[in-house]
Structure 1
Amino acid sequence: MKIRSRLTLLFTLITATILLAFASVIYISAKENREKEFYSLLRKEALTKANLFFNAKVEIQTLQDIYRSNRQILNEVEVAIYDSSFNLLYHDAVDIDFVKETPEMLNNIYQKGEIKFYQEDWQVIGFRYGFQNKDYIITAAAYDQYGYSKLNSLMKNIFVVFIVSILFLYIAGLYFSKKAFDPVKEMTNKVKIISATNLDLRLNNNGNKDELSELAGTFNEMLNRLENSFDAQKNFVSNISHELRTPLAAIITELELSINKERTIEEYKTAILNALNDAKKLVRISNSLLDLAKASYDPSEIVFKSVRIDEILMDARQQVQKANPNYKIDIAFEQEFENDHQISVNGNEYLLKVAFANLMENGCKFSKEHQCSVSVQFNDENIKLKFTDKGIGISEDDLQNIFTPFYRGLNKQFAEGSGIGLSLTQKTIQLHKGSISVQSTQGEGTIFTIELPHI
């Protein structure tokens, strides 16, 4: 069942329950009021007969004639009068005697002073009546045909109004739920036509601050992320294809030239060396891509633990210098640390080592002296690392794009690279909830500043 139908039925059911409760209260209240009013009427009629009998001294036959005459056209009250010894003094119609008073009933009335009860559908009241210092017992009974007729009419009206109201509410619920869900239907139809080929489409936002506008805005934000992700993936595939194709083409060319004709040993060695260098370049690109993929994982899939920054820096320097023995990397601690906490972060040792090694290698690679220095500072909140070189620097145009994957600026003329290292470094630092910034002046050098929070 669709939400629209469920809401309509739920709305109708709740409203019907409220209407039913309201109608029940009205009917029960009307029923109780009819009963009270008729008992009051019976008492008044009984007192009137008693006054006519005791005070006015109207003859019994006359009172009975009045009763029988009225009984032909309306439900006249049947009255009986007894003395304290339960002897019958007056009765409107002994031959009818609907109540059929018993000594037990009369005694009960006399003891309690007044009782009220039903005999079939007739209401009966009995009470003690005082006249000239003597007590008498009076009973009065009648059938409230008018009152019951009003109750039946009320019941019929309630039933009809209830059914009509339920039908009206159901139809109104269908209409308003349709109006309420029209934007959802429109959004559904729009979403159905969105695919990888038209991710630029967006859901309409009516500008209201309601749940549907919030849903549309959230969905549009998701589409923005998906579109950016698809664009990044396309660029990634395009760039990586280019990066891999170049060394592969060079390897194939070197090998083809080597087998075209007989060559000297030195020429073969040169061809093999060139192919080996291109193969090593492929390995570096592959390793960088694997590291970039790791840094792009869901953080919940990466193991974090307490690691010491000084040890990671030492390992990163050793890794860079092992591949490039002529690189000089200085590590300086500007403060003395008293415990491991001051120099530790909650992180992934492998990814941090790769990120630091990239910055060290870049600093050495783009400076004539192949030298880079790293300074370490810390406080109660975080650790600050500065990677400084006196190299060729980075232009202002390139500074805006250096963290873009596969981006190569003007420095590609100075040294080889894949354009992955800085992007990988930024992802790693962001993964560790840190920040990275860069300052550079062309011809003077570059400073990369990293801040990582403590554990």
Structure 2
Amino acid sequence: MSSKQKTNDPHRDLDTMSGAATDLFNRLPLTFKIMSWYTIFLLIILMVASAWIYAYTHESDNKEVRERLQQQAMIMATDIRKFKPYQDNTFFFVSTQDGYIIKGALPDGFPNQTILSLGQVGEIAAGDDTFYYYDTPVNEPNYRGILRAVTKVKTASKKTENLLYSLLLGNIIFLLISSLGGYLFIKKGLKPVRTLTKTAKVIGKNNDLSRRIDIPARTARDEIYELTTTFNRMISGLEDSSNRERQFSSDVSHELRTPIAVIKAESEFALKYGRTEADLREGLTHILEQAKFMTNLVSQLLDVARLENAQGLSFAPVNVSLMLSNMVHDYTRLCTENTDKQITITSHIEPNLHMNAHEVSLRRAITNLVDNAIKFTNSTIDISANLVGRDLVITVTDNGIGIEPEALDHIWDRMYQTEQSRNKKSNHGIGLGLYFVNKVINLHHGTVTATSEPQVKTTFTVRLPYNTREE
């Protein structure tokens, strides 16, 4: 038969209790936690201050008792005829040189044999009592001896005991009042945090990202201010992200509606009325054009979405001169093969232009400008790049129909299209190309501008800070 013996580990029990207390404290409200630490810190200060006051007062009181004892003994020794065995909590007696008492008596508990303490106050412990004593010679004619004054330390410490009780009571009252006041101040100080929490709950419940926490104009630039402004910036970022997502969905649904309707109509027409190969080929051609348009549309929308969500671009050394020269070569060949329009491309590219940039996005941006020029030029396009001061300046110029002056300030807006003469007549774009260009150049810390003379020429100017530092 075996029995299980339960073992008690006090250290393990202590750790368990400590962990439970810590968990309980962590569940308490922040106001109560701060007040608890404040009260504990205040209690420690009060205890240290009270201990110092008590020790200082106790020592001062004992010093006063010793000085009074010495003074009483010396006064009585100068006029032994006025001798009194007990006066003001002090015992007096006179003894001979060999210790024989001739006047007075020993106080209860004081040892019979003690060494002389001439010129200074002695201290001796006897049982539970402690005594101060002082010896001085009696120098009167026909009277020789030693006068000793004795007093109990316990009697001398009565005042310090009263001080101790007063300190304890005063500390308790002060601690209660301070804790209550601290709680009220802490609660008031954390009011912005409660407001922030309330706003966050409302945002989470109603999905309303337009709400912000109001910051008074005279608010101190403290931690609460930083927390509030950080929260507002975070909500602004979330709102911008949500708006971009809604904008993307709106753009896709709006722009895809027309090509999908065309594809649907062409398909239904071909199925219903397509009797000959020519009819079917014409319908399929329209469907293919719309499919290409949708592919280009989705590609542009995704490019824009990626740029808008990007916090920055990773830069690396780029040979801009080589990149633009290759681009001119490719477009020259493309325009040569194009039989619809005779286009001549000229270039003025300064050699050895090296800078740190995101090559893929920068190439796409310049390509968009050249594509626009090809669509709207009558015959010539000029591409140039050179250093102007501390900037790299790239220009793309065409001699096409131009842009109306009132439209120049809006061509960089998302989904903006100028009037029919520049767009729908020869272009099937959706107004994202220049918006993409502007975003890319801004991420490169540069600017892009446009100038135009209708029916004469249009020039797009990209100005980038010419840097050689990787970012």
Q: Aligned match of 1:26 in 53, 60, 70?
A: 53
Please name the residue that 2:373 is paired with.
363
Aligned to 2:42: 15
Q: How big is each residue's C-alpha offset from its partner over 1:369-401, in whole Å with a ceiling of 9 and x where there is no partner?
A: 2x3222212267431212222222223442232
Counterpart of 1:122 in structure 2 is 130
Q: What's the counterpart of residue 377 of structure 1?
A: 386
CA 1:328–1:280 in 2, change beyond 3 Å: closer, same or farther?
Answer: farther
2:283 corresponds to:
271
**Aligned: 1:295 with 2:297:** no
Match of 1:2 among 18, 22, 29: 29
| % identical aligned pairs | 25
1:59-74 to structure 2, matched below 5 A, reads 63=83, 66-67=84-85, 70=87
**1:248-267 aligned within 5 A:** 248-267=260-279
Task: Find the partner of 2:91 among 77, 83, 89.
Answer: 77
User: d(CA) in 2 for partners of 1:129 and 1:449?
Assistant: 114
Q: 1:426 aligns with which of 423, 438, 441?
A: 438
> Equivalents in 1 of 2:320, 2:362: separation in Å?
9
What one-letter code is carried by the residue in structure 1 that aligns with 2:125?
Q
Cα distance in 1 for residues equivalent to 2:101 and 2:241: 106
> 1:42 is matched with which residue?
69
**Aligned-pair CA distance for 1:365:** 1.3
In the alignment, which residue of structure 1 is the partner of 2:18?
A: none
SS of the aligned residue for 1:171 comes to: helix
Partner of residue 200, structure 1: 210
8 Å CA contact 2:70–2:121 kept in 1: the answer is: no
Q: CA deviation at 1:440?
A: 2.9
* Counterpart-to-counterpart distance in 2, 1:93 and 1:224: 93
Checking the alignment, whether the CA contact within 8 Å between 1:126 and 1:137 is kept in structure 2 is: no
Match of 1:331 among 320, 339, 347: 347
- AA at the equivalent of 1:76: T
From 318, 321, 331, give the equivalent of 1:310. 321
* Distance of 1:79 and 1:435 partners within structure 2: 107
* 1:445 aligned residue: 457
Q: Tell me if the contact between 1:45 and 1:77 (Cα under 8 Å) persists in the aligned partners.
A: no
The two structures have a TM-score, normalised by structure 1, of: 0.82
Q: C-alpha deviations, 1:215-271, integer Å up to 9, x for none? A: 444434444444344334323322222222222322232232222234333333322
- CA offset at residue 30 of structure 1? 0.6
1:188 equivalent among 170, 190, 197? 197
Query: For 1:313 and 1:178, how far apart are their aligned partners in 2?
Result: 64
Distance in 1 of aligned mates of 2:370 and 2:401: 15
* Residue 177 of structure 1, aligned match among 165, 180, 186: 186
Q: Quick one: distance in 2 between partners of 1:97 and 1:11? A: 49
1:159 Cα offset (Å): 0.6
Give the structure-2-normalised TM-score. Answer: 0.80
Q: CA RMSD in A?
A: 3.1
Give the Cα–Cα distance (whole angstroms) in 1 for the partners of residues 391 and 138 of structure 2: 101
Q: 1: distance between equivalents of 2:137 and 2:323? A: 110
Q: Distance in 1 between matches of 2:41 and 2:323?
A: 66
Matched position secondary structure for 1:372 = strand
What is the distance in 2 between the residues matched to 1:398 and 1:197? 37
Task: Give structure 1 stretches of 5+ with no counterpart.
Answer: 338-342
Q: CA deviation at 1:362?
A: 1.0
Q: Secondary structure at the match of 1:329?
A: strand
- How big is each residue's C-alpha offset from its partner over 1:120-143, in whole Å with a ceiling of 9 and x where there is no partner? 4433244565959xx986543202
Equivalent residues of 2:94, 2:145 under 8 A apart: no
Identify if the C-alpha distance between structure 1 residues 136 and 291 changes in structure 2 by more than 3 Å, giving closer, same or farther: farther
CA gap 1:372/1:443 in 2 versus in 1, 3 angstroms = same
What is the alpha-carbon distance in structure 1 between the residues aligned to residue 237 and residue 225 of structure 2? Answer: 18
